[in-house]
A and B are shown apart, each in its own frame.
Chain A
Amino acid sequence: MSGWTVAGLESQVDGFRLGPIDLELSPGHAVAVLGSSGAGKTTLLRTLAGFIPARSGRIARDGVDLTDRPPEERRLGYVPQGLGLFPHRTVERNVTYPLELRGVTDALDRTRPLLERFRLTSVARRYPARLSGGELERTAIARALAAEPELILWDEPWQALDVDARFELGRVFEELRETAAVPVVVVTHDPALAFSVADSFLVLHGGKVGLRGDATTLLAHPSDAFTARFVGFDNVYDRETLDAGPPGSFTAWLRDRAGPEGVAFARPLLPSYGAPSGSWEGVVGSARPTPEGLALTVHVDALAVGLRMAPPVPVPLPSVRSRVRFDVEEMNLRPLGRPFAAPGAPP
Chain B
Amino acid sequence: MLRTEAFPAVILIAALSGAGCTTRPPPAEAGRPFDFQRDSLAYSNQLYWSYDFSDPDTVEMRPAPDTAPEGGHRCATMARAVRQFFRAARFDPDAARVSDEEYRRLVRSVLGSDPRRREPAQPPSVIPGYPGLRSFSRDHHEIIDAELGGAVGTYLQRGNWRMIFPFAPRQNRAAVEEWLTQLERGQLPVVRIVNFPIIDVNHTLVLYAAEESSLEVRFLAFDPNDANTPLALVFQRAGASFHYPPTSYFRGGTVQAYEIYDGFFF
Q: Do A and B come from one complex?
A: no
Point out residues on A near B: beta carbons under 8 Å.
none
Binding site for A on B (CB under 8 A): none
